[in-house]
Amino acid sequence: MIIHVVEPGDNLYGLHERYGVSMTELLRVNDLPDPERLVVGLALLIPIKGTWHTVKAGESLWSIAANFGLALNQVLQANPGGNPEALMPGQRIFIPLARHNVAPGETLASIANQYGVSVYALAQENALTITEPIFSGQTLFIPRGKPIIDVNAYSYQQDAAGAQSIREVGELLTFASPFAYQVQADGSLEPFPDEQMIAASYEENVLPMMSILNFTSEETGSSLTHTILTSNQLMDTLLTNILNVMNEKGYRGLNIDFENVLPEDRERFNNFIQLAVNRLHPEGYFVSTAVAPKTSADQPGLLYEAHDYAAHGRIADFVILMTYEWGYRLGPPQAISPLNQMRRVVEYALTEMPAEKIFLGFQIYARDWKLPHVQGQAAQTFSPQRAVELATKYNAEIQFDRVAASPFFRYTDEDGVDHEVWFEDARSAQAKFDLAKELNLGGISYWALGYPFPQNWELLRDNFTVRKRI
């Protein structure tokens, strides 16, 4: 994919002409609120499937095209404005994917075998399921080698809405996590409707993962967790109740999201995770945890101290880093998931646990703060698409913080109130994917479904092959 940042004078028809892509595809992957108005600074995905190649000494555009099995004009079209006579070592050239025209009698499996790629990779590259029929004359893109990762997505939507969200992006999910079962002081679990989300997961070959949590909007969960962790009987009761739910509803694994655990309960929490593994593994279930974004082993604070990265990495099957919420809704305006801070967390995590067990947390929502910020005043939370709608409505030029790798803009509403909005776009999503690839992380975990962000899913498909475990 190519990311184009709108400049003064740009319009959709001009981009269609420049890059040789259809208007329909431009509109689909970007879901523009008003195709006739492109605000300056808006990041647009140009849906040309391919990869970037760094020019080496002695290479020409002709030799590069030949090495990738492409015609010269295909490479030229993907790099408008470039001079094929003046390539320089270190220059980046976009290489589009090869295409295959389906012949009568061909199947996904036979085409995948012909090109030496997996059926799943071929299907995901073309937004198909592995059982979906293909037709003579249909054009398929042939994927190049991409990292294989696991992808989880939480959903705290109502059951039917969550099920629909899973169906919309299920081809790009390994796990889906309805959020969540609230742990009670007697070891019971507060039920909630999740049957439709579980059913949708299986429809999409996605493993449903049961989430449990210890807190509410009114209670931090510290006291409740202490009560559970200091009683062998209560821990046993809780694990029995978890197994009963998993067996009854068809969950395939567990995610433990215990936050604000008292520092003195750190070892007790580690012990509970080990007990969970001991009970669930023999039954064929996996166990994962969600941890606060730490940058050192001795980081102070109730949110951090009891989360022992080394122990979680040793005991659990994988660990989700909650690398978001720097831009907290009650705090001052800033990037919600600044890349520089995320990198610090991941680099520390890599000193305590294997890369393949680390899932990078990725929030897919935006926040709108009123200015000047008053401490405790809540920001509004909505989708990245809504952020683009606001920027378009108020003709607000979108800025990009290169340190945080995050877009933002300011506008003044009809009442004369100033606002600052931080959100996610194609650039920020690609930066997170680049971090995951650079550090060979095992997966990505989204918080949360229900916030439309079509660019993200297109880029996820473009960067990775998503592992299916069913």
Please give the positions annotated as active site.
259
245 with 194: CB under 8 angstroms?
no
- What's the token pair of residue 419? 């606002």
Element containing residue 88 per DSSP (H, E): none
- What's the token pair of residue 80? 């408008």
Bridge partners (DSSP) of residue 368 are 380, 421
Pairing between β-strand 181-183 and β-strand 189-190 as defined by DSSP bridges: antiparallel
Place of tokens 């009670």: 184
Burial of 367 (0-12, 13-18, 19+ CB in 10 A): buried
Place of tokens 């215990």: 258
Kindly give the interhelix angle for 232-249 and 222-229, rounded to the nearest 10 degrees: 100
**Length of the chain measured in residues:** 470
Place of tokens 């092959």: 465
User: Which among 30, 13, 125 has a CA at the least distance from the CA of 389?
Assistant: 30
405 with 321: CB under 8 angstroms?
no
- What's the token pair of residue 403? 């340190």
CA quadruple 47, 49, 54, 60: dihedral positive or negative? negative
